[in-house]
Chain A
Amino acid sequence: MDIFDIIGPVMIGPSSSHTAGAVRLGNIARNILSEEPKKARIILFNSFARTGRGHGTDKAVIAGLLGFSPDDERIKTAFDEAEKRGLVYQLLIENIDESLHPNTVTFELEGTTKKTRVTGCSIGGGRVKITAIDGFDVELSGEYPTIITVHKDRPGIVACVTAHLAQEGINIARMRVSRKKKGEEALMVIETDEKLPGTIKEVLENIKEIHRVITFSE
């Protein structure tokens, strides 16, 4: 935590968790889709559902999907902006799921060629955590440059990826691998200290057992 986590962020009100955090969750979901979202189904849970309207959480998640930052004055008019940009959305308000964090949202997104399902929560002060991507349990803050790979669950692939990062002089801040079943598909999330070089995506995509690579930074 640094002093600008205390004074800051600059944001559109009224709530760091329910507005700014909601925008950031939308931003990360957009990044994971890695193309312009055309259709979105957004499910708000618990406190997001109960108090979201008055906090503009509904507008905030849409603004996030459009790529607006938490201090963008267009958040207030996000519904109109979505219409202009051709984003068709549906908001579902599921009141309570005790097993989930109080401020949880699930995005089901479709772009022109890609689809994804992302769940995350707003953990306070505008900070967020992505907890699931396409059915894989993950932990991702969105505060660092991020690499996500979907690959075959077999020995050596993680080493292969980290070796490439080492070669580029990139330090791993946090990393997590998860899978649904042994030997099938696995999903790896790597958050790094250094900026990612533009070539990294291509390099990793050339590794045979890696099916998909997503890279983004804030």
Chain B
Amino acid sequence: MTNTIEELVVMAEKSGCKISTLVKKQEAKSKGCSEEELFLKMKSYFEVMRQAANKGVQNEIRSISGITGGEGKKMWNAKDKALSGETVVKAAARAMAVSNVNASMGKIVAAPTAGSCGILPGAVLTVGEKLSKTDDEIVDSLFTAAEIGRIIALNATIAGAEGGCQAECGAASAMAAAAIVELAGGSPRQVSHAVAIALKAVMGLVCDPVAGLVEVPCVKRNAMGAAEAIIAADLALAGIPSVIPADEVIAAMKEVGRMMSDKLKETALGGVAATPTGKNWEKKYAIFKGGIF
């Protein structure tokens, strides 16, 4: 297994194969199982992602707290009028749809976390559809996304409580950008540029969930994360490099997370969670009243 993105890219370049091909090979070797087994497991995860996305664009799904709901469906219904274009809006709608399912205690795949679970499916389902990719090709791209996430987790963090939202939605967005660059036929080097660009875009993003719930601003941040992944991929595919290499961006993200006040790391004590409206929601719906029940 590789410890840095640079290592991963160089190895893929040398062997002349896609990152996902390399990742499947490495993972099968380290686990002592077949690549086929890994693929089938990932494919079953992909099915859960697709079901959640479909469920959330077709139905108005309310969260258990009642603060959010129906965003995925609303955005999907408005896609023909979208200013940002069909691909971005479909990806954003699907990302919110999955996030809606998550907040309703429905079934999702953490990618890398539950709070950021819509970004990757939103991006790969939509780009896969646009490029007429087969399910198997999309599933393959998820291995690239997973390896990028693994390297981020290894060298920084993917937990909002440790690194803020840049570590959760940021990582998810970087993973999604990597997957779609590969889906679109980009090179391993372009994958690393897309990762760097996506992470830089949300450097310093705080984790400020209203009432501590995975809803506000999380559902809409999933939409933004998916959109950002597509733009980051487009930049990289257009041949625009990231001046700062991906591994250095990841290190910077870790350091920014360390410098961030605890109030901005999933404690619901800062950011929009600490606004008068945020506090009102907290009082109204979210927290236990205390005592025995």
20 contacts between A and B (CB under 8 A): A3-B27, A4-B41, A5-B150, A8-B45, A9-B109, A12-B106, A12-B107, A13-B101, A13-B108, A13-B214, A14-B104, A14-B105, A14-B115, A51-B211, A54-B64, A54-B212, A54-B285, A76-B64, A125-B110, A125-B112
Please tell me if the beta carbons of B45 and A51 are within 8 angstroms of each other in the complex: no
Please provide the chain A residues from 4 to 23 with a CB less than 8 Å away from any CB of chain B in the complex: 4-17, 19-20
Chain A neighbourhood of B30, CB < 8 A = 2
Is there a chain B Cβ closer than 8 Å to A111's Cβ?
Answer: no
Q: Chain B 207-227 against A: per-residue CB contact (8 Å), 1 yes, 0 no?
A: 000011111000000000000
Q: Among the listed B113, B214, B268, which residue makes an inter-chain contact with A125, where contact means beta carbons less than 8 Å apart?
A: B113
A19–B117 CA distance with the chains assembled, in angstroms:
14
Specify which chain B residues have a CB less than 8 angstroms from the CB of A10 in the assembled complex. Answer: 44-45, 48, 107-109
Of chain B, the residue at the smallest CB distance from A77 is B105
Q: Which residues of A contact B249 (CB under 8 A)?
A: none
Q: Is B69 interfacial (CB-CB < 8 Å)?
A: no
Query: Does A55 belong to the interface (CB within 8 Å)?
Result: yes
Q: In the bound complex, do residue A14 and residue B63 qualify as a contact, i.e. CB atoms below 8 Å apart?
A: yes
Candidates B64, B115, B149, B161; contact of A102 at CB < 8 Å: B161
7 A-B pairs with the lowest CB-CB distances in the bound complex, closest first: A51-B212, A13-B102, A3-B146, A6-B149, A54-B286, A54-B213, A14-B214
Q: Select which of B108, B147, B159, B213 is within 8 A of A51 by beta carbon.
A: B213
CB neighbors of B among A47-87 (8 A): 47, 49-56, 58-59, 71, 73, 75-76
Q: Is B31 an interface residue (CB 8 A)?
A: yes
| Cβ contacts B53-67/A at 8 Å (1 or 0 each) | 000000000011100
From the candidates A4, A95, A102, name the one contacting B290 in the complex (CB within 8 A): A95
Tally of A interface residues using CB under 8 Å? 44
Across-interface contacts of B268 in A (CB, < 8 A): 50-51
- Where the two chains meet, the residues of B that have a C-beta atom closer than 8 Å to any C-beta of A are 23, 27, 30-31, 41-42, 44-45, 48, 63-65, 101-115, 117, 120, 142-143, 145-147, 149-150, 153-154, 158-159, 161-162, 175, 211-215, 267-268, 285-293
**Given the interface contacts A13-B214, A14-B63, A125-B110, does A53 sit within 8 Å of B105 by beta carbon?**
no
Knowing A12-B106, A13-B103, the reply to whether A93 touches B290 (Cβ < 8 A) is yes
Interface residues of A (CB under 8 A from B): 1-17, 19-20, 44, 47, 49-56, 58-59, 71, 73, 75-76, 90-93, 95, 102, 124-126
Query: Which of A2, A50, A91 interacts with B212 by CB under 8 Å?
Result: A50
| Closest CB in chain B relative to A131 CB, distance in Å | 18
- Docked CA distance A6–B104 (Å): 22
Which of A3, A20, A47, A59 meets B110, CB within 8 Å?
A20
State the total of A-B contacts with C-beta under 8 angstroms: 158
Nearest Cβ on chain B to A204's Cβ, whole angstroms: 28
In angstroms, Cα B207 to Cα A17, docked, is 15
A67 to B211, CA, bound (A): 29
In-complex Cβ contact of A3 among B44, B63, B143 (8 A): B143
Which of A1, A8, A124 makes the CB contact (< 8 A) with B109? Answer: A8
Query: CA separation between A19 and B101, bound complex, in Å?
Result: 14
Q: Are B45 and A76 in contact (CB under 8 A)?
A: no
Contact A56 B212 (CB under 8 A): no
Contact check, A16 vs B64: say whether CB atoms are below 8 A apart: no
Q: Distance (Å) between the CB of A89 and the closest chain B CB?
A: 11
- In the complex, the answer to whether A93 meets B288 with C-beta atoms within 8 Å is yes
In the complex, which residues of chain A have a beta carbon less than 8 angstroms from the beta carbon of B215? 14, 54
